[in-house]
Structure 1
Amino acid sequence: MNKITVNEMNHVRPAAVAGLFYPGQPEILRSRVTRLLDEQHQEQHRRLIPSALVVPHAGYDYSGGVAASGYSLLASDPDRARRWRRILLLGPNHRVPLRGIAAPKADLFATPLGSMAVDQTGLAELQQRFDVQVREDVHALEHCLEVQLPFLHELLPSAKLLPLVVGQERPEPVADLIEWAWDQKDILVVISTDLSHYHSYDEACRIDADTEHAILALRSDIVPEQACGAHALNGLLLAAHRRCLSAARLALCNSGDTAAPRDQVVGYGSYVIF
């Protein structure tokens, strides 16, 4: 297994879906992110200090508002948000088969708004403690983490990333890794996942309601047909159950509510663990 060394500097992971999933021009993107955040009002939950956020990763036309409902908890109190100096970002593999958990080789993740640094020292510690492999191929074209970066760059520009793609993996190892992150006190956990895929509108609403019930109950038995990021999500829910935390819904809809027909829709949910 290749090990990360902190001396490998300036290896940049270029933005792969800028101009596709979100605007590629910096000023247009910044305006879009700002508008999405301004449109979200989480008065009921704005005083919560999140231990983790669950947010979707489709194009901003489809799920940007739902994602912003989660990130608005950081925007509501910038001074409080600055406690997060690192972000453990977990999401599923869409393009390259993967068993286990994969870290990038990159030192920087590029976005149209600027680059975000990877916490190589933290990744090295994760490799020592957990079964984390370095897979540049897994990260190269993966969009699920990338689409979160414009929000994170806007809200936490100095935070460093711990970006991991979670393939087929049991909840327990993922939960162990997340609990390690929480023990560091300066790490916000972000799980990137969409919900059901390509069902009729009514069927998707039923499936996503069942999935939401599992999330709010902190059950770690969600399957990929319910959420494409199920393996990372289950780890989060198990860790939250172990720590006696709670979950709350911030937003729930599907692509039939936002920017697509209702014959084959994708579900999107945003949740906070606190």
Structure 2
Amino acid sequence: MNATGVRPPAVAGSFYPADARSLAALVDEQLAAVQHRTPATGSPAGIIVPHAGYVYSGPVAASAYALLRGRRRAVSRVVIAGPSHRVPLRGVAVPRSSTFLTPLGPVPVDEQLRAIAREHPEVSVDDRPHAAEHSLEVQLPFLQTVLGPEGWSALPLVVGHAEPAAIAAVLDALWDDETLLVLSTDLSHYEPYERAQVHDARTAAAVVRKDLHAIGPYDACGAYPLAGLLGLAGRRGLDVALLDLRNSGDTAGPRDRVVGYGAFAVGWS
């Protein structure tokens, strides 16, 4: 965070274009290429999406974000939860920053949601896990495109080691009918193409049946927040639908060591 309370983009120019026009064009292109139809009438209450560079995971993430275009559900707030890649963390960190900036413009941090989150003992206010974290940042340009540049706010959550029930309790307090939940996670890492396909198919099946105990850190880098979400979805009776399952060998990378990506819809109305 800088002195103005703005968290500047950390991975613009590496994970996605730093130029606003190029970024907008790439997001529009990836959304337009989505072929599937929604799993049910309406729009999802939550989505699970990957978080690599757009050339690798963007087409898969777009499979979920495309459901939000023409949505019936009003969205005024977004909770974005993802793993901590760079800072060792126990529990959940919310930012002190008031704004997250991308090349497409500012995203205000929702102060009301932050206050609710802070009531939980697992939650701390700490900008350090957010400063260089890409898993949340890469979701923002997609959200700015499908929700519009204004009229909504976000609460980014960096999730470290925590029990699924504790994470579920935090998400439960934040997730209502006007709040979209975005869960950011990649799947398998650096396996050969065919092995990754089998591994990720097994993980995707566990996600769809909401079997949080079948998913560990070697199955998904966001295993901790994912387990919390799946436990909560089970309690709320929300279905989970697989939208897309590919890996970097299918999109833009070699096939000797790939990273897996899945997109899912969670509940819809």
Bin for the TM-score computed over the shorter chain:
over 0.9
Shift of 1:52: 1.0
2:34 alignment partner in structure 1: 40
- Pair 1:226-2:199 in alignment: no
Match of 1:55 among 45, 49, 52: 49
Q: Does 1:185 align with 2:177?
A: yes
The CA deviation at 1:122 is 1.4
Alignment of 1:199 with 2:195, yes or no, is: no
Amino acid across the alignment from 2:18: G
Corresponding residue pairs, total = 262
Does residue 263 in structure 1 map to residue 256 in structure 2? yes
Q: How far apart, CA to CA, are the structure 2 residues paired with 1:180 and 1:51?
A: 15
CA apart distance, 1:138: 0.5
Question: 1:169, 1:231 within 8 Å by CA — same for their partners in 2?
Answer: yes
Give, in angstroms, the shift of residue 214 of structure 1.
Answer: 0.6
**Aligned residues of 1:66 and 1:269 also touching (Cα < 8 A):** yes
AA aligned to 1:240 is A
Partner of 2:11: 17
Runs of 4+ in 1 over 4 A off after TM superposition: none
Indicate if the aligned counterparts of 1:216 and 1:248 stay in contact, CA closer than 8 A.
yes
Letter in 2 for 1:70: A
Q: By how many angstroms is 1:121 displaced?
A: 2.2
What's the TM-score, normalizing by structure 1? 0.92
Moved more, 32-41 or 192-201: 32-41
2:209 corresponds in structure 1 to 217
- Structure 2 match to 1:111: 102
Equivalent residue number for residue 140 of structure 2 = 149
SS of residue in 2 equivalent to 1:121: helix
Q: What is the distance in 2 between the residues matched to 1:259 and 1:44?
A: 26
Equivalents in 1 of 2:249, 2:166: separation in Å?
Answer: 35
CA deviation after TM superposition for structure 1 residue 63, in Å: 0.5
One-letter amino acid of the structure 1 residue matched with residue 27 of structure 2? V
Inter-CA distance 63–46: structure 2 relative to 1 (3 Å threshold): farther
Range with bigger deviation, 111-120 or 39-48: 39-48
Indicate which of 241, 251, 273 corresponds to 2:244.
251
**What is the correspondence of 1:133-172 to structure 2 with a 5 Å cutoff?**
133-156=124-147, 157=149, 158-172=151-165
Unaligned runs of 5+ in 1: 1-8
The 3-state SS of whatever aligns with 1:28 is helix
Among all aligned residue pairs of Structure 1 and Structure 2, give the percentage whose two residues are the same amino acid. Answer: 47
How far apart are 1:190 and its partner, in Å? 0.4
**Other-structure match for 1:26:** 20
Q: Is the 8 A contact 1:42 1:72 kept in 2?
A: no
Q: Distance in 1 between matches of 2:120 and 2:168?
A: 13
8 Å CA contact 1:101, 1:132 repeated in 2: yes
Q: How does 1:124-135 map to 2 (within 5 A)?
A: 124-135=115-126
Report SS of the residue matched to 2:119. helix
- The reply on whether 1:86 has 2:77 as its aligned counterpart is yes
TM-score (norm 2): 0.94
